[in-house]
């Protein structure tokens, strides 16, 4: 049982980062209101800023995954992204008018005239750094947790399972506290400052367990494999296909079924007769295995489906812009059972209800005599 103590500590160190991520996610979810109420920007201008930020957080994990797989590894990616998170949230907090008003010579009230060039620079730099932090955590947090559990999975006991279950429960309550608590904090400097302190503490906790973690180096990226196959196939573009498919390198060891489409990529596994096999194997950019070729075909085959995600992105962008403005101006005359909560915190109520609606079988019990909850949840989703 004593062997599992470092494992449990490592897991809870990583869960601390997940808790901080939840608080930051909700703070950034309210950014639309900050831009329209404090900066007095038009709805379309504010939505443009939020959508660019959300687009960065959606695209960057692809590149962060490549860097983690080829250069840094999951631990260093987590450390780098956590530091970016801390710096970005610190800049976002300092971009609020009261924090640097004495140093910049501006007023300290939440009005557009109190926001100078320094605040603008800090704000946009904060968005970029927070996008890096979000992408890094999305890329490596779950993977690094899996690395900690990899060697000890056979020794998992009831105690560790209960600990993980408690961690999930605590994570859920942290989400509830974030939804219900942060909106009551009116100063925006505190609204952004509290998640900043939380991610800073979570990063320190993460660093405190550095001696107990299981480290796995970079394992290579699938993107590198795709590039290798494309380069190898292009270098043999004018070579003929072999008459016998078993002349392709690694054909007998390929666990994937052979496909007929994109046959031009099969030339990446073609063994040239004018060089020895050992010489060609030493240059991985000139000779690939059939398994790598078939895996590349599968990845390329997913591109048409991935293009359709553009419409999903357009729809999901409304959750951070249009729905926020609707929730801020919604009619609060609802069922008496939820009247107090919804009047005091309509935006947090909408998010929490949408989450509950996804998982709860007691939807009708939550609002038995009103169709408002169903309409609200449909709007939020």
- Is the distance from CB of 270 to CB of 231 less than 8 angstroms? no
pLDDT tens for the chain, residues 1 to 381: 344 466 677 777 888 888 888 888 888 888 888 898 899 888 888 888 988 898 888 888 888 888 888 888 889 999 999 999 999 999 999 999 999 888 888 888 888 888 889 999 999 999 999 999 999 999 888 888 888 777 555 555 555 555 555 555 666 666 666 666 666 677 888 889 989 998 999 999 899 888 888 888 887 777 888 888 888 888 887 777 776 666 677 776 776 677 777 878 888 888 777 777 777 777 778 788 888 888 888 888 888 887 777 777 777 766 667 666 666 666 555 454 455 555 555 555 565 555 555 444 434 433 443 443 333 333 333
- Is the distance from CB of 186 to CB of 37 less than 8 angstroms? no
Q: How far is the C-alpha of 12 from the C-alpha of 167, rounded, in Å?
A: 8
pLDDT at 33: 86
Q: Which residue has the tokens 């169709």?
A: 371
Residue 244: left if φ>0, alpha if ψ -120 to 50, beta else—which one? beta
pLDDT at 161: 54
Q: Which two tokens stand for residue 147?
A: 């690395």
Q: Which whole-number Å values give the CA distances from 160 to 6, 243, 336, in the listed order?
A: 11, 56, 42
- The domain limits of the chain are 4-208, 222-302, 307-380
Q: How far is the C-alpha of 354 from the C-alpha of 126, rounded, in Å?
A: 28
Q: How far is the C-alpha of 344 from the C-alpha of 331, rounded, in Å?
A: 12
pLDDT at 381: 34
Q: Give the CATH number of domain 4-208.
A: 1.20.1250.20
Q: Which two tokens stand for residue 90?
A: 């610190």
Torsion of CA 124, 126, 131, 132, to 10 degrees: 120
Alpha helices in the chain (DSSP H): 4-29, 31-37, 43-67, 73-94, 101-104, 117-150, 158-181, 188-208, 222-235, 277-282, 290-301, 303-307, 309-317, 322-328, 339-344, 346-359, 363-366, 372-380
pLDDT at 90: 94
Q: What is the pTM of this model?
A: 0.71
Q: How far is the C-alpha of 298 from the C-alpha of 291, rounded, in Å?
A: 11
Q: How far is the C-alpha of 117 from the C-alpha of 138, rounded, in Å?
A: 32
- Of 41, 5, 20, the residue nearest 163 (C-alpha): 5
Q: For the chain, what's the residue count?
A: 381
pLDDT at 71: 85
């Amino acid at each position: 049982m004593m062997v599992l103590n470092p494992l449990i500590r490592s897991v809870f160190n990583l869960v601390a980062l997940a808790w901080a991520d939840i608080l930051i996610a909700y703070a950034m979810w309210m950014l639309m209101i900050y831009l329209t109420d404090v900066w007095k920007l038009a709805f379309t201008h504010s939505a443009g800023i939020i959508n660019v930020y959300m687009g960065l957080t959606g695209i960057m994990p692809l590149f962060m995954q490549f860097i983690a797989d080829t250069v840094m590894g999951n631990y260093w990616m987590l450390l780098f992204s956590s530091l970016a998170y801390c710096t970005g949230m610190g800049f976002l907090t300092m971009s609020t008018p009261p924090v640097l008003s004495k140093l910049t010579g501006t007023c300290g009230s939440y009005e557009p005239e109190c926001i100078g060039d320094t605040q603008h620079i800090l704000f946009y730099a904060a968005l970029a750094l927070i996008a890096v932090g979000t992408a890094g955590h999305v890329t490596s947090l779950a993977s690094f947790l899996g690395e900690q559990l990899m060697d000890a999975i056979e020794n998992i006991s009831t105690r560790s399972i209960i600990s993980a279950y408690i961690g999930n429960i605590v994570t859920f309550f942290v989400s509830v506290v974030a939804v219900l608590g942060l909106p009551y904090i009116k100063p925006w400097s505190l609204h952004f400052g509290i998640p900043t302190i939380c991610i800073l503490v979570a990063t320190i906790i993460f660093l405190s367990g550095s001696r107990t973690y299981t480290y796995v180096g970079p394992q290579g990226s699938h993107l590198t494999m795709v590039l290798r196959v494309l380069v190898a196939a292009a270098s043999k573009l004018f070579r003929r296909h072999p008459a016998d498919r078993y002349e392709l390198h690694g054909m007998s060891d390929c666990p994937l079924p052979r496909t007929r489409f994109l046959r031009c990529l099969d030339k990446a596994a073609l063994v040239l007769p004018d060089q020895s096999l050992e010489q060609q194997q030493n240059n991985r950019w000139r000779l690939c295995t059939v398994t790598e070729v078939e895996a590349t075909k599968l990845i390329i085959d997913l591109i048409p489906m991935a293009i359709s995600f553009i419409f999903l992105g357009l729809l999901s962008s409304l959750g951070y812009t249009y729905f926020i403005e609707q929730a801020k101006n919604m009619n609060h005359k609802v069922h008496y059972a939820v009247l107090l909560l919804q009047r005091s915190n309509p935006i947090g109520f909408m998010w929490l209800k949408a989450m509950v609606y996804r998982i709860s079988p007691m939807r009708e019990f939550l609002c038995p005599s009103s169709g408002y909850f169903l309409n609200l949840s449909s709007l939020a989703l």
